[in-house]
């Protein structure tokens, strides 16, 4: 919003008479000659205009500062992870009992043997061939042991049938040991089976169904005193920006981007034994991540996701009655009948964004399948300056 001095002149003359206020021409005379700069009398309309000018200037400064900012700043902790800090997969074999005839049949002999072995622990000897109940199902139990998990913490588990059971819902998983790749037991699971993903009856979940029994130590800092930040989405520009942000906060040479997916950070010697405060402060630093030009198309739903900086070079594509021409000198976006009278034509300038192309194709009635095929053709001829991913 811009306000000119004429606004104040006219407004002051209309609202303020000789006896009510000062005119614009006489405003300098209202100040004393000693340079004190104190007005004798200033009408409310003139004061309102002055305040409006000040507000407009403040808004212009804020808008200019906002326009100068490019990209979105995020925290380092949201786009990286500390190398060496990760979860561990756990697996175990167990039995689900209490089913209403929806368990494993006799064609799954390992279920009967498992029941017999379980009963032996309670000093009950049973021949596996005598076990004919369909209320029991053999399952594989899986879980993820998160980093820094301590003894007594609860884990969510998933039980999946490995036999011919029809449903696990409503059953109870008996005490099952969950081990890692080193064959050490890190958790034990037990509980009632609940509905799993997509209502699959042969897969069930038990929220907080396992209790952690073992601890996996995490080594964040190497013997040389280095901390490695691994980017979730590797990018050379983003890695360089993270290193610059760390160096700006902790001094030159503190961090260096070793490659597009890793940033090596030197931990102060006094914090190498307890690096948590240092890691927390690094994680709160703000950076602007960069992303490569990418187009993702879901062939089943027709959803098209377009990243930033996606451009189209000069090319011409004809598909299913649609004629796309990119790079016609001096032309603007236009749609109309094709030269042969069949279908529609889309004409774009070279270097146009893919968003413009998709909008133009939608305007002429192109279906998601047509748009996907045209993009694949542009990518094949090298005109689509982006990575194309079809799901």
pLDDT (tens digit, 9 = 90+) per residue, 155-179? 999 999 999 999 998 899 999 999 9
Domain enclosing residue 28, as ranges = 5-68
Last residue of a domain, one of 287, 309, 338: 287
Q: Is residue 220 part of a domain?
A: no
Task: Calculate the alpha carbon distances from 14 to 53, 196, 343 in Å.
Answer: 19, 76, 63
Structural domains of the chain, count: 4
Query: What pLDDT was estimated at residue 51?
Result: 65
- Are residue 322 and residue 381 in the same domain, yes or no? yes
Asked whether residue 74 is assigned to any structural domain, the reply reads no
Of 287, 302, 335, which residue is a domain's last? 287
pTM of the entire predicted model = 0.63
At residue 32, the 3 state secondary structure works out as coil
Do 102 and 56 lie in a common domain? no
Q: What angle do CA 114, 118, 121 make, to 5 degrees?
A: 150
Confidence of residue 302 (pLDDT cuts 50, 70, 90): low
Q: Is residue 78 part of a domain?
A: no
Longest dimension (CA), the chain: 116
Cβ(339)–Cβ(273) under 8 Å? Answer: no
Q: Has residue 312 been placed in a domain? A: yes
- Mean predicted confidence (pLDDT) in 187-201: 83
Do residues 96 and 194 both lie within one domain?
Answer: yes
> What is the number of other CB atoms lying within 10 angstroms of the CB of residue 78?
10
Dist CA 176 CA 94 (whole Å): 5
Looking at the fold, whether 326 and 369 belong to one and the same domain comes out as yes
Question: 241 with 128, same domain?
Answer: no
Question: How many Cβ atoms sit within 10 Å of the Cβ of residue 79?
Answer: 17
pLDDT tens across 344-368, in order? 677 777 767 777 777 777 777 777 7
Q: Note whether 137 and 187 are same-domain residues.
A: yes
Q: Give the confidence band of 45 by pLDDT, cuts at 50, 70, 90.
A: low
Same domain, 282 and 171: no
Clarify whether residues 208 and 281 are in a common domain: no
241, 205: one domain: no
Answer with the one of 243, 260, 287 that is the final residue of a domain.
287
- Cβ proximity of 105 and 164 under 8 Å: yes
Does residue 77 form part of some domain? Answer: no
* Predicted confidence (pLDDT) per residue in 103-156, tens digit: 998 888 889 899 998 898 888 888 888 888 889 999 999 999 999 999 999 999
In a domain, 218, yes or no: no
Instruction: Tell me the range of 190-199, 261-270, 355-364 where mean pLDDT is highest.
Output: 261-270
Has residue 175 been placed in a domain? yes
Cα 167 from Cα 329, distance rounded (Å): 65
Q: Are residues 191 and 152 in the same domain?
A: yes
Say which range, 48-57, 135-144, 379-388, has the weakest mean pLDDT: 48-57
pLDDT band at residue 231 using 50, 70 and 90 as cut-offs: very high
Mean pLDDT of 69-82: 81
Claim to verify: residue 96 and residue 180 sit in the same structural domain: yes
Asked whether residue 171 is assigned to any structural domain, the reply reads yes
């Amino acid at each position: 919003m811009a306000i000119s001095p004429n606004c104040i002149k006219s407004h002051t003359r209309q609202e303020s008479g000789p006896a009510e206020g000062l005119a614009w021409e006489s405003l300098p005379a209202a100040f004393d000659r000693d340079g004190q700069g104190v007005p004798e009398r200033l009408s409310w309309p003139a004061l309102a205009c002055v305040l409006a000018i000040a507000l407009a200037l403040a808004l212009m400064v804020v808008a200019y500062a906002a326009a100068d900012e490019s990209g979105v700043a995020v925290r380092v902790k949201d786009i990286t992870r500390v190398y060496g800090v990760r979860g561990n997969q756990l697996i175990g074999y167990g039995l689900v009992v209490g089913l209403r005839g929806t368990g494993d049949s006799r064609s799954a002999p390992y279920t009967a043997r498992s029941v017999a072995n379980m009963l032996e622990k309670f000093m009950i000897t049973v021949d596996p061939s005598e076990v004919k109940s369909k209320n029991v199902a053999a399952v594989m139990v899986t879980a993820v042991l998160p980093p820094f998990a301590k003894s007594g913490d609860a884990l969510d588990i998933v039980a999946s049938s490995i036999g011919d059971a029809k449903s696990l819902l409503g059953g109870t998983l008996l005490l099952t040991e969950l081990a890692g790749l080193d064959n050490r037991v890190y958790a034990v699971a037990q509980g009632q089976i609940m509905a799993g993903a997509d209502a699959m009856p042969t897969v069930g979940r038990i929220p907080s169904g396992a209790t952690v029994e073992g601890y996996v130590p995490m080594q964040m800092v190497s013997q040389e005193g280095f901390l490695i930040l691994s980017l979730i989405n590797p990018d050379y520009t983003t890695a360089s920006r993270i290193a610059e942000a760390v160096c700006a906060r902790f001094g030159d040479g503190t961090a260096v981007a070793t490659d597009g997916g890793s940033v090596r950070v030197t931990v102060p010697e006094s914090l190498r034994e307890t690096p948590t405060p240092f890691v927390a402060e690094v994680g709160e630093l703000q950076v602007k991540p960069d992303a490569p030009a990418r187009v993702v198309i879901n062939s089943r739903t027709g959803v098209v996701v377009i990243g930033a900086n996606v451009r189209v070079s000069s090319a011409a594509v004809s598909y299913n009655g649609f004629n796309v021409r990119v790079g016609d000198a001096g032309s603007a976006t236009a749609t109309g009948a094709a030269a042969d009278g069949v279908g529609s034509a889309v004409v774009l300038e070279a270097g146009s964004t893919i968003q413009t192309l998709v909008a133009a194709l939608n305007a002429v009635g192109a279906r998601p399948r047509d748009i996907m095929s045209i993009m694949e053709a542009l990518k094949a001829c090298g005109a689509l300056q982006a990575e194309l991913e079809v799901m």
